[in-house]
Structure 1
Amino acid sequence: MAMFAVEYTYSDATAAARDEHRPKHRAWLSGLVEDGRVRATGPWTDGSGALILLDVADEAAARDLMAQDPFAPRGRGDAVRITAWTPVMGAFSG
């Protein structure tokens, strides 16, 4: 398995749509936490976006998974960045 950092960027223009669909988004994420594909997730404290740490087979799997996010097809965020990440120390290393 490989780790990927998924960064969502938000703006005021998409806030109402995010608020409307956030329960579905969080329910979706909760299932992924339960099955181990999401290791951690949460919004930036300034409201500018969020971070999701994925543990999946490869980048294609990360992109396929994120395409299923209830936020994704509805344009609830302004940008999504998926980056391979190698944790060296701490809770996610090993």
Structure 2
Amino acid sequence: MLFALICKDRPGALQVRLDTRPAHLAWLQGLSETKKVAFAGPFLNDDGKPEGSLVVIEADDRAEAEALAAGDPYAEAGLFESVEVRCWNWVVNKPAG
């Protein structure tokens, strides 16, 4: 089952994002290696600066999705003002396999 993690950064926390980015990317790579991440990337403001994240993950249920979200180094560093975990259905342009 797919879940979208819709994460909004705290105002003024860009430096936290920049400082934590290597650990976050390593976390995503680990999820990718275990086939737990479908895709991910930052939301950008009108100036092209990151202000949140969208991470779509594979999880057995909401509890697992929430646990994975809590393990994101960005979340652990306190970057996010909010994290919404939503069950999601990939309909258009879904990769084969």
Bucket of the pairwise TM-score, normalised by the shorter protein: 0.7 to 0.9
* Structure 2: gaps spanning 5 or more residues: none
Structure 1 residue 34 corresponds to structure 2 residue 37: no
Residues 81 and 27 of structure 1: is their aligned pair in 2 closer, same or farther, counting only changes over 3 Å? same
Corresponding residue for residue 50 of structure 1: 53
Identity of aligned residues (%): 32
| TM-score normalized by the length of structure 2 | 0.84
Work out the CA distance in 1 between the residues paired with 2:95 and 2:76: 29
* Partner deviation per Cα, 1:6-59 (whole Å, 9 max, x = no partner): 011124421111111110011111110121101100012322211000111010
Higher relative strand content? 2
Which stretches of structure 1, 4 residues or longer, exceed 2 Å deviation after superposition? 45-48, 87-90
Residue type of the alignment partner of 1:40: F
TM-score, normalization by structure 1: 0.87
CA distance in 1, matches of 2:11, 2:66: 25
Distance (whole Å) between structure 2 residues aligned to residue 66 and residue 32 of structure 1: 11
Q: Which residue pairs with 2:90 in the alignment?
A: 87
Secondary structure of residue in 2 paired with 1:78 = strand
Question: Could you tell me whether the CA contact under 8 Å between 1:8 and 1:49 is conserved in 2?
Answer: yes
